[in-house]
Chains A and B, each alone.
Chain A
Amino acid sequence: MKLIQQRLRTFITDNFLFGQDGAELLGDDSLIEKGVIDSTGVLQLISFLEREFNIKVEDEEVAPQNLDSIDCLTAFVQRKHAITGAAIARENQRCASPVAVIAGVEEQ
């Protein structure tokens, strides 16, 4: 979990705060209310999540309760991984190869 949070924080600090004041951003601060991201920023954030964490963000998941703070984002990525992990686990049970399951869970 620490690792996910760290990667999220680094991305947000570098891309939206350009290395400035990142330490002052609390885990539950609203990224929009604090003016950290704007409308394009939301789209950039989604591409980052999909690329970095290898998840697919569905349209209905693009909502502030999932994406508007570092804490929300961390929990969201974890949930997605859990689902993906479970899916992979089901897949693996059929294929009898545990490697992918471990890769999916390690992040957490």
Chain B
Amino acid sequence: MCGMCGILNLDNRAVDRDLLGRMLGTIRHRGPDECGLYVTEKAGLGHARLSIIDLSGGRQPMHNEDRSVSLTFNGEVFNYIELREDLIRKGRRFATSSDTEVILRLYEEEGEECVQRLNGQWAFAIWDKKEDKLFLSRDRLGVRPLFYASTGQRFLFASEIKAILAHPAVSRQLDLSALDQIFTFWHTLPPHTAFKGILELPPGHSLKVKGGNVKVWSYWRLDLSRTGTSPYDVLGREQEYADRLGGLLIDSTRIRLRADVPVGAYLSGGLDSSLITAIVKKFTNNPLKTFSVAFHDSEFDESRYQKQMVSHLDTDHHEIRCSYDDVGRVFPDVVWHAEKPLLRTAPAPMYLLSKLVRDSGFKVVLTGEGSDEILGGYDIFKEAKIRSFWGVRPDSKLRPLLLRRLYPYMQDIQSQSEAYLKMFFRVGPQDLSSPLFSHLPRWEMTAKLKLFFSDAVKSELQDPTPYAELEDQLPAAYRAWDSFARAQYLEAAYLLPGYILSSQGDRVAMAHAVEGRFPFLDYRVVEFASTLPPSLKMRGLNEKHLLKRFASSLLPESVIRRPKQPYRAPEVKSFFDCDKGAFRHDYVDELLSPDRVREYGVFNPAAVQMLVAKVRRLQATSVRDGMAIVGILSTQLLIHQFIKNFQIRTDHEADSTEVAYVHHG
């Protein structure tokens, strides 16, 4: 796992080696073990390495014998052993035992289509000198990041946006329409980023630059068209399906333990990470070290369940226990790494956790993300199911009673009268026919935060919602899919890469050079899950039905049956000491002050002041007010660090950067 960047000069000008080095310096945290640059006349590749496989031989950028093909790569190819054997049978020779070289040889063998054969998490760039072509690719589900920008006669790419912004030809400006998307969906719609002119290569896409043209195409897409077509096909065959799912998960976990360094596991206390940990324990010889986030505030803490699993599996366990103060203290760094406004503080404890992993001498952890998306675990699926069930019979007296079953962990919802619950979860007349039905309540609530935008921003954003752009991106057959499949797609294709795997995943783990691996996101697991009917995902209102069936042989009943709790972190209290009505950290006071809000121009200073006055003394804040504080503060931090003080921040980051070796082509 690593960081990479590159420059292609379309006008054939020589690449500035120092500049490439400066770009790489901004993402050195991703790969502190080694650092390399490769510069030919017009192309330059940079690589910061975190050594995991073939510690001595996997140096990058890597080249073939005649140096006509050069590769810089961030990620892992988990089936590299099988692919390597196959390529050797076909006559390819290998100089190293790394997975990096497998990509290089596979590209030589099969060209751009080689990505179809990779099982892994990757972002890579290949400079093909003979073809005069730069080829970029990103893994199917968007585990690893890849950004790019075209500025006149230059094409730039990198693992993180800050490396591109370090190039003097790139202007550093917020993209207001992207901000509009974040304050609706919680993420930007690909290919947008929070910065104007900088794009992400979407998950499952490849890109090439040839003859001055940039071409982007999709090589894989999540296809849920088979979901829901055959509930009767699986009747009486449930155990068989559970066994197949289990077999795939065991294998996907097994190949994710391939590394020349020890592999640990995150343990949240929930079903998914507990199951992965149990699989490692039962089916492999990996000595197991586990890592958890615990909270001082019992509202967020799951350590009771974590302890149960630790004693059940007898792992060597380590935890961090987060206070309000901890979350607020690291939040500026979290925004620096996430590179976009955040509406939740939940990435902050993950940032602290990766530091613990690193300090414990580990570079790689397995984690349970992806299961809720692909196997039907989220509350939003439950909510959509009840709302649509009620929506088709709005006069039913019994159907709305099910609303009481939603969000059992949210006291404010549970204490409402039936009449109020019906209003909160109401189904509007147009709602049922909307392709975005499942997500409209979440997005509409989030979009209310736009009332904090300054008048200038409001007048710039004339379009009332960014839904149209999203609808244009959906697969052609999407509207014909089962409603459960549609909700799943919106989570798995958007929120998963846009927030869970990025802001809460790659970026906060790689901030401390820790690589996450995701057994549930093995494409074989994902493709199998996408053929399952919804009844095997959510049975009635019981989530992840099939997974629980498989897990019942590996986990204690109490972990399988425990009420699901979403992973969250304290919001307002991380920034305000509400007992004293005081700011916990100076930067909060500074960045939310009317002068600074006015200067940065995105929000209305008077509205922000009223929000601050409201929340700073309240013991209980609404979800929306909490999101507003986090969203406003993170946007201010983004502007502060990336637009106003970029040089200061990157100088600080680059202090320790030293380029170990440089190749010339």
Contact = CB atoms under 8 A, between A and B. Distances in A.
Given A15-B614, A18-B607, A35-B444, A42 B451 contact: no
B439 interface: no
A5 B93 CA distance: 83
- The interface size bin for chain B is 20 to 34
Contacts of A30: 423
Interface in A35-55: 35, 38-44
B451 A43 contact: no
A39 B611 CA distance: 17
A59 B423 CA distance: 17
Contacts of B360: none
Contact of A19 (B420, B424, B607): B607
A18 B452 CA distance: 8
B604 A20 contact: yes
Interface in B445-459: 445, 448, 451-452
A84 B444 CA distance: 39
Nearest to A36: B448
Interface stretch (A61-69, A75-83, A86-94): A61-69
B611 A68 contact: no
A32 interface: yes
A81 B624 CA distance: 32
Contacts of B610: 14-15, 18-19
Interface in B13-27: none
Given A39-B416, A63-B420, A64-B419, A18 B620 contact: no
Interface in B539-591: none
Nearest to B451: A20
A40 B614 contact: no
B624 A38 contact: yes
A35 B416 contact: no
A30 B423 CA distance: 10
Given A20-B607, A40-B621, A63 B417 contact: yes
B622 interface: yes
Nearest to A39: B412
B445 A40 contact: no
Given A20-B604, A63-B420, A65-B419, 13 more contacts: A18-B606, A18-B611, A18-B614, A33-B426, A35-B448, A38-B424, A38-B445, A39-B622, A42-B416, A43-B620, A59-B417, A62-B417, A62-B420
27 contacts: A14-B610, A15-B610, A18-B604, A18-B606, A18-B611, A19-B610, A20-B452, A20-B604, A20-B607, A30-B423, A32-B424, A38-B445, A38-B624, A39-B410, A39-B412, A39-B424, A39-B622, A40-B622, A40-B625, A41-B622, A43-B620, A59-B417, A62-B416, A62-B417, A63-B419, A64-B420, A68-B423
